[in-house]
Structure formats: structure tokens, C-alpha cells
A and B are shown apart, each in its own frame.
Chain A
Amino acid sequence: MASIDTISRNLMLDSLREYAKRRIPYDLIRELDEKNEFPADILKEMYEHDVLGLHLLMVPAEYGGVSGGTFDIYRVCEMLARIDLGIATGVFATFLGTDPLNVGGTSEQKEKWLRRIASENLLVAYGATEADAGSDLINLRTRAEQVVKNGKIAGYNITGNKQWISNGGVADLYTILAMAPGGPSWFLVERNMEGFSPNKHEDKHGIRLSNTAGLSLDNVFVPAENLIGMEEGKGLLQAQAVFGYTRVMVAAFGLGAGMEALEQAIRYSQQRIQAGTPLSDKQGYTHKLIVPNYVKLEGAKTYIEDVANRLDSGEHGLQTEGAIAKYGASEWGNKAADDAIQALGGYGYTKDFPVEKIKRDIKITCIYEGTSEVLQMTIYRGRWQEHLKSRGRYYLDMADKLDQVHAGEPGAGAHAAALALRALAAVLEECRVHKLTRHQHVTFKLGALICAAETAAVFATACAAQKYGETVRFDRPTWQAMSRVFAREAALGVAMEGLALVLGASENGGDLAEAVNMTAVQAEQKGMIADMDLVAAKLKQTFKAK
């Protein structure tokens, strides 16, 4: 689905921001967090058509929605995450729950259910996960048995248990994945159906404003027309088809929450005077706790936007890209939030400041919609295939393109990004020659290195462009400095860690230091501190103390 025009999208975001400012102050969030309470009234109000109608973003205009595209949903998710990741998760669950319908529903089903979701403001939950089936849905235990009447399938009796379902205890409508005779399939289950009952609300580490509960299905009869797509066995495909897209949403969560924590730390650092000067003027503080994190998240943001725009322009799947987006944004966001606590010192460790809550909340982004480890594997698998298929040219070709970018715009970090990509190609090739991917550790580690190198490439390319995207808040010199910092770190990380990885796993990897071009990577580090100084100064200017 194409995205909404920029002006309309920004008007929607303004409305969401103003609503949150007025209706969801931190004091309220803190209270709900302590009570482990789901703010049903706020969620319902945000769905009201004349207040916000947030859920309409997921519904095509023909069914009464506003036809949001991936970029729109990313922007809204990012802002929701800045407000509260628990509330964001409640909204996200509706988005996610609606997805199987959007992807696999017949036109009659869409007409009926999407219209109902839009007009009745239904809270939706996505019921896939079970005790033994998380990212490995193939172990699904919930069964759907056919109920045959007069020689026709009249419906299904569904039995089983679901676990950790967001909105589980509060949704009106559930999309439930169950094993039908023809294979895994999605069913629409309404809350009031007989035999269906949610379990108790979990007591969680974070996102405590989100309702999370298990579901019990005891011989719940659903009519045949509630089988999404009217065909059994399509469930996993339907789930897979949207991973690129749903992972962009969770990536936006990691990004938004991580950025929020950092921005609060930046504002704080200008007020806290230590030995006569504010913390924001001390390199030992900014260059450790602020700048590296901000730069990482800025890279993640650029990557997310690239994937979102590609999806909106009609590309399909992008599972690997979705995984890279989510892995980077959630891991770096998590680290940023952790460092934000450190940046606030003792205050950061108290509940008087929101960073403590953000840190607890953001951890979930490394877990749900595919844990970081599952994503590392997904990324590795996707790109390993490309490496083999291209006979090792995949990243070398990408690096050639970056070198062209560098020729046109030498300040954007494209050369360092190209070094990262070439080093990555060398490491992958070494792993192939010595069959090192028999070690799972190597494959997972490769996933992480791929994420860093590809993000550097996308960031540098965006920084070299004539015109910047609508979300870039910095001037050209600053944004390019950010990209250079990112790309240098990526190059150094891929070269050093890749080298260490290979040396640790194989008998002979002696020439690799030359293959990853360690000399060039190290030479490229020149100017790092000056760039970090610039970024620290600009961050201080952009996020002034309030």
C-alpha cells in the first residue's frame, strides 16, 4: 500500500502528539506502570473516529479506514513508542491481529471484518505464540477439527492454549493460528464464543501498560467462513508474508523508545553541572554515553525508512531487510536506553525520570516479533544465499556502488561503508572456503556483522543524496558526520570481529587481515574525534534543556 502524502501524515502525527501531551502525561503512565494496568479507556479513546481513529491506519479506505502505508505506520509507531511502549504495543497488537486478514482474507471476509474493526473500533489480538511455539510456529499444538454437517464443512472446533498474547485479556477479536487437517491456518475468533477464555494478565518486567495474557480454547466452534482465506494450510505463508512489514513496526518501537531516552539524557546533561561545567561539555560523557548511541539509532532510522519506502513502492517480502531493521533498531535502542540511565546517574535509576521505565520497556523489542537471535539467523540465512548465488560478488558489488557514491560526495562516509562491505565479503568467503558456518556461533555473528555493514551502506547513501528525507533533523554537515562515525565503527567492527571470528574457528586464516584490508580500515578512523565533537555540539543545540 502506498503511503499517505507528507502533509496529511504530519497532521496526523501532530494530532497524536497533542493528544498524548494532553491525555497521557508521565505521571499517569508511571502510576499505571506501577499498578500493572492496561489503560482501556485511553486505547478506546484513541480509536474513536473523532478523536484520533488510530486503528484506521491499518484499514484500507474502501473499508472505512485511511489506507496507511508502511512509512505512515512506521512514523506512528515511532511516536507511540516515545509516548509509552506499552500503549504502543496495545495498538500494535490490533495492527498485527488485522494483518492475516489484510494479507490472506477473501474480499467478503475483508468487507465484513475490516469494516467491523474500523467502524466498531475493535481491539484485536494476534494469537500465534504457544508455550512450545514461538518463532518456530511449526510446533503448533492448537488444533482445529473440521465439523461436517450435511457433507459440508460447517466449521471448526478449536482446542489449545496460546501464550503471551498482547491484548490477550482485553481484545474483542482474535486471529488465532491453529493446525487444521490441511495445515496451519488462521481463524477469526470472537471474545464471546463459547469455550474461549483469556487467562490472567502477566506481571512483566516492562511494557506494563500493555495487557498480556494467555488464551484457552476449549472446543471453540468457529463457522467455516471464519477461516481466513477460506483455505486450510496457508497460515505460515500468511504469517511470513508480513514479517518484513511487522518487523519494521517493532524496529520503529526500538528506535522511538531509544531516541526518547537519549534525548532526555541530552537535555539533562546540559543542566547537570559537574566541577563547573555541564556534563554535555565533557567528552568522557558525550563520546561514551550519547554520541555513539545516537549515531547508531540515526543509522537504524535511515535503514527503517529505506525498507518502509521500498515496501510502499511495491516490493514484496523483504524478510531479511525487515530482520536487519528490527535487529539493529532494537539492540541499539536497548543499549541507548541502558546508557541513558547511566547518563542520568542516580536520577536515572529512580522512577522519577522516565528513562528507567523506557529501559524496562524497550527490552521487549529484542524479544517479540522474533528474538534478536532468531533475527541474526534469519539475516545470515538470507544473505548467505546471496553470497553463494553471486559467487561472492554480492557485497563487492554493493561496495562498488558505495565507492561511486563516495566519488560524488566524499563527506558522507561512503568510503568507510564500502570498506565494511568489502571486509564482510572477505569474511563470508573465508567462512565458505573453510566451511565455518557449521558453527552456529559463526552464523549468528555473521548476522550481526551484516546488519552493521548494510546499515552503514544505506546511511551513507542517504547522506550523500541531494535532498534529505522529511525526518532528518540535522543540517548536512552534522548528518554526514553521523554517517561517517557510523561507517567507521562498522568498518572497524566487521574487520576486527570478522577476523577474530575466522581465526577462532579455523586452522588457517592467515591472510585474512590483508583480505579485510585492516590497514585501510584503521587509516579510515582519522577524524573520528572531530566528528564526534561536532555531533555532540549539535545534539546539545537540537535538544536544548526545557
Chain B
Amino acid sequence: MNIVVCVKQVPDTTEVKINPETGTLIRNGVPSIINPYDHFALQTALELKKKHGFRVTVVSMGPPQAKSVVQMGLALGADEGVLLSDMAFAGSDTWATSYALAKAVKKIGKTDMIFCGMQAIDGDTAQTGPAIAQHLGMAQVTFCEHVEVDGRRIIARKQIDGGYETVECRPPALFTMIMHKDYVPKYPSFLAVHASLAKPYHVWSAEDIGAEAQYLGLKGSPTQVSKIYPPPQKEKAEMFAGSGQAAAERILEIMRKEHFTQ
């Protein structure tokens, strides 16, 4: 089977800082990382490759430096890498992004399974995966923890509201991955990074994938950002600082005052 994994380079949002005076983001020094859910999706795909000998292609969309996440995929064992990079893509919302990614999948060729992270930590929309599936007319299984393949049967364990389901489907299908709790992310060795430079890697423009300009970028995006602003802040808290013991006593005092304990 042929697998495509979609990965995104994101700012490490746990490191993003806010300038308290202006309420704006401070980007300096914040590292770019592979979206953690995509990292898990990639690892799931590569385990299937190891087990069944599938062919894995890693695809990302972003500026030239997003090559990093594609190369990481190659270094971890993927066979081929693709970066969609073109100013025409800038400003794309999830609709336009998924349109471009779907076009890229078509260009890559016959695809049996697509893996995506459940969502990206910079946008938290969880929309791109299902939207790609719709563009390609594929079945989808979202919020998966585990995916295994048995011949032409694909079995996935997925989260649902209030529990879990085990589902079955046949290729072609798209899976979006959440992380299961025992997951340990893998990083490539120096040798693997070096070797990945020799693997096939392509940078494709909008024209290369046959995407129509009217569906790309700001123009092709049905949603528009009208304003960005810092989250509202409440009144300042009543602060206290002291030793562990004093702090514990202070908390007890608060709970008494607020009638949670005697």
C-alpha cells in the first residue's frame, strides 16, 4: 500500500510568550517544531511501513524552511518527501490548505492511506484532515489512537465522545491521529539525517500540482481573519508568596474564607 503523511511545521506554542505591555506575541527565540500530533501520525505510518513494507511519502505545506519537517520524516524512514511552497499558498485557511494538499496527493499517485495529526497546535482547528478526505472522496476515521492493517482490512481504535470505538474500513481512507499515552516520540540519528539528504525530495508550486489560483491563499479561503487581539484579562489576583508551609496555610485560609472548608 501507499501511504501519505501530512505534517506541519508549527511554532512551539508552549514556548510562545506574550508581551504583557502590548499583549502581542513574542516570536524571537521560539523554536519551530513538527506539530506533535503529526509526529505521532508519522510514527504510526512508519511502523506500518516497517511491518508491511508500505511506501511512505511525507507532505508538508509552508515556507522553504518547512523542509525541516519533511526531512525529519525522511530521516525517520519515509521514502519520499514533498514540500508545497509557493507564495500563492500564503494566507490559506483550512479549506484552501486541504484543497492544495489533496491536489498534491493526486499528483503523488495512487494512495491507499493518508495520515494526519488530529490538529495543529498553532491553529487547533482539526479541520484539514477531514477536508482533505472530502476533497479526495475518501473515507475518514478521525481522532485515532491506533491503526493496524490486516490484508485489505484496516482496523482503527478511535476516540468518540465519552469513550472509544474500534472501527473497520478499506482503503483508501484518511486517519487523523491523537497521541496515545505510552507514545514516545522518536528523533532521527545523525546518520539518518545525513542519509535523508539522498532521498527523493521535491518542492512543488501551485502550478506543479495543478491547483487553480482562485482556490488558493487569501482569495480562495472562505474564512477571513478580521482582527487579532490579546485575550481579555481579568482583575489582578490577590497575591501571596512564601514558603511551602506558609503557602499551604494560606490556601486553607482562602478555602475557609470562600466556604469550601470549615
Chain A residues 524-546 with CB under 8 Å of chain B are 541-542, 544
Name the contact of A541 in the complex, choosing from B26, B68, B187 (C-beta under 8 A).
B26
Query: How many angstroms between the C-alpha atoms of A543 and B16 in the bound complex?
Result: 11
Query: How many angstroms between the C-alpha atoms of A22 and B33 in the bound complex?
Result: 17
Report whether B68 and A11 are in contact in the complex, using a CB–CB cutoff of 8 Å: yes
Q: Which residues of A contact B68 (CB under 8 A)?
A: 7, 10-11
Report whether B188 and A541 are in contact in the complex, using a CB–CB cutoff of 8 Å: no
Q: Which residues of A contact B187 (CB under 8 A)?
A: 14-15, 18-19
Q: Is A56 an interface residue (CB 8 A)?
A: yes
Name the contact of A51 in the complex, choosing from B75, B189, B196 (C-beta under 8 A).
B189
Measured between C-beta atoms, what is the minimum distance from A409 to chain B in Å? Answer: 20
Report whether A11 and B72 are in contact in the complex, using a CB–CB cutoff of 8 Å: yes
Report whether B185 and A18 are in contact in the complex, using a CB–CB cutoff of 8 Å: yes
Chain B residues 19-48 with CB under 8 Å of chain A are 19, 26, 28-29, 33
Measured between C-beta atoms, what is the minimum distance from A88 to chain B in Å? Answer: 16
Q: Which residues of A contact B197 (CB under 8 A)?
A: 5, 8
Query: How many angstroms between the C-alpha atoms of A57 and B189 in the bound complex?
Result: 11
Report whether A56 and B191 are in contact in the complex, using a CB–CB cutoff of 8 Å: yes
Query: How many angstroms between the C-alpha atoms of A195 and B243 in the bound complex?
Result: 61
Q: Which residues of A contact B71 (CB under 8 A)?
A: 7-8, 11
Q: Is B190 an interface residue (CB 8 A)?
A: yes
Q: Which residues of B contact A475 (CB under 8 A)?
A: 28
Q: Is A360 an interface residue (CB 8 A)?
A: no
Report whether B189 and A61 are in contact in the complex, using a CB–CB cutoff of 8 Å: no
Q: Is A315 an interface residue (CB 8 A)?
A: no
Report whether B241 and A273 are in contact in the complex, using a CB–CB cutoff of 8 Å: yes
In this complex, what residue of B is CB-closest to A14? B187
Chain B residues 41-89 with CB under 8 Å of chain A are 65, 67-68, 71-72, 75
Q: Is B194 an interface residue (CB 8 A)?
A: yes
Q: Which residues of A contact B106 (CB under 8 A)?
A: none
Name the contact of B29 in the complex, choosing from A8, A19, A56, A473 (C-beta under 8 A).
A473
Q: A11-B68, A544-B17 are in contact. Are A53 and B29 (CB under 8 A)?
A: no
Q: Is B193 an interface residue (CB 8 A)?
A: yes
Measured between C-beta atoms, what is the minimum distance from B135 to chain A in Å? Answer: 29
Proximity string of chain B (184-205) to chain A, C-beta cutoff 8 Å, 1 when within and 0 when not: 1101111111101100000000
Measured between C-beta atoms, what is the minimum distance from A207 to chain B in Å? Answer: 23
Query: How many angstroms between the C-alpha atoms of A4 and B197 in the bound complex?
Result: 11
Q: Which residues of B contact A122 (CB under 8 A)?
A: none
Q: Which residues of A contact B194 (CB under 8 A)?
A: 4, 8, 56, 61, 66-67
Report whether B190 and A53 are in contact in the complex, using a CB–CB cutoff of 8 Å: yes
Report whether A15 and B190 are in contact in the complex, using a CB–CB cutoff of 8 Å: yes
Report whether B17 and A12 are in contact in the complex, using a CB–CB cutoff of 8 Å: no
Proximity string of chain A (13-31) to chain B, C-beta cutoff 8 Å, 1 when within and 0 when not: 0110011001000000000
Q: Which residues of A contact B75 (CB under 8 A)?
A: 11
Report whether B190 and A52 are in contact in the complex, using a CB–CB cutoff of 8 Å: yes
Q: How many residues of B contact A (CB 8 A)?
A: 25
Q: Which residues of B contact A14 (CB under 8 A)?
A: 33, 187
Q: Which residues of A contact B26 (CB under 8 A)?
A: 541
Q: Which residues of A contact B65 (CB under 8 A)?
A: 7
Q: Is A474 an interface residue (CB 8 A)?
A: yes
Query: How many angstroms between the C-alpha atoms of A544 and B30 in the bound complex?
Result: 12
Q: Which residues of A contact B67 (CB under 8 A)?
A: 7
In this complex, what residue of A is CB-closest to B34? A14
Query: How many angstroms between the C-alpha atoms of A542 and B15 in the bound complex?
Result: 10
Report whether A54 and B19 are in contact in the complex, using a CB–CB cutoff of 8 Å: no
Query: How many angstroms between the C-alpha atoms of A19 and B33 in the bound complex?
Result: 16
Query: How many angstroms between the C-alpha atoms of A67 and B194 in the bound complex?
Result: 9
Q: Which residues of B contact A474 (CB under 8 A)?
A: 28-29
In this complex, what residue of B is CB-closest to A22? B184
Q: A11-B72, A54-B190 are in contact. Are A541 and B185 (CB under 8 A)?
A: no
Measured between C-beta atoms, what is the minimum distance from B241 to chain A in Å? Answer: 5
Name the contact of A56 in the complex, choosing from B28, B190, B196 (C-beta under 8 A).
B190
Report whether A50 and B192 are in contact in the complex, using a CB–CB cutoff of 8 Å: yes
Chain A residues 345-392 with CB under 8 Å of chain B are none
Q: Is A49 an interface residue (CB 8 A)?
A: yes
Q: Which of A11, A48, A49 has the most CB of B within 10 A?
A: A11
In this complex, what residue of A is CB-closest to B70? A7
In this complex, what residue of B is CB-closest to A67? B194
Query: How many angstroms between the C-alpha atoms of A57 and B193 in the bound complex?
Result: 12
Measured between C-beta atoms, what is the minimum distance from B184 to chain A in Å? Answer: 8
In this complex, what residue of A is CB-closest to B64? A7
Query: How many angstroms between the C-alpha atoms of A12 and B197 in the bound complex?
Result: 13
Report whether B193 and A49 are in contact in the complex, using a CB–CB cutoff of 8 Å: no
Query: How many angstroms between the C-alpha atoms of A7 and B71 in the bound complex?
Result: 8
Report whether B188 and A15 are in contact in the complex, using a CB–CB cutoff of 8 Å: yes
Report whether A15 and B28 are in contact in the complex, using a CB–CB cutoff of 8 Å: no
Query: How many angstroms between the C-alpha atoms of A544 and B192 in the bound complex?
Result: 34
Q: A11-B72, A61-B194, A473-B29 are in contact. Are A541 and B189 (CB under 8 A)?
A: no
Q: A7-B71, A541-B19 are in contact. Are A12 and B193 (CB under 8 A)?
A: yes
Give me the 7 closest cross-chain CB pairs, A-B, nearest first: A15-B187, A66-B194, A473-B29, A53-B191, A53-B190, A53-B189, A18-B187
Chain A interface (Cβ < 8 Å from any Cβ of B): 4-5, 7-8, 10-12, 14-15, 18-19, 22, 48-54, 56-57, 61, 66-67, 273, 473-475, 541-542, 544
Q: Would you list 18 pairs from A and B whose C-beta atoms are within 8 A, ordered by A residue?
A: A4-B194, A7-B68, A8-B196, A11-B68, A11-B71, A11-B193, A12-B193, A48-B189, A53-B190, A56-B194, A66-B193, A273-B241, A474-B28, A474-B29, A541-B26, A542-B28, A542-B29, A544-B17
Q: A49-B191, A50-B192, A56-B191 are in contact. List 20 more A-B contacts (CB 8 A).
A: A4-B194, A5-B197, A8-B194, A10-B68, A11-B68, A11-B188, A12-B193, A14-B33, A14-B187, A15-B190, A15-B193, A18-B185, A48-B189, A54-B190, A66-B191, A66-B194, A67-B194, A474-B28, A541-B17, A544-B17
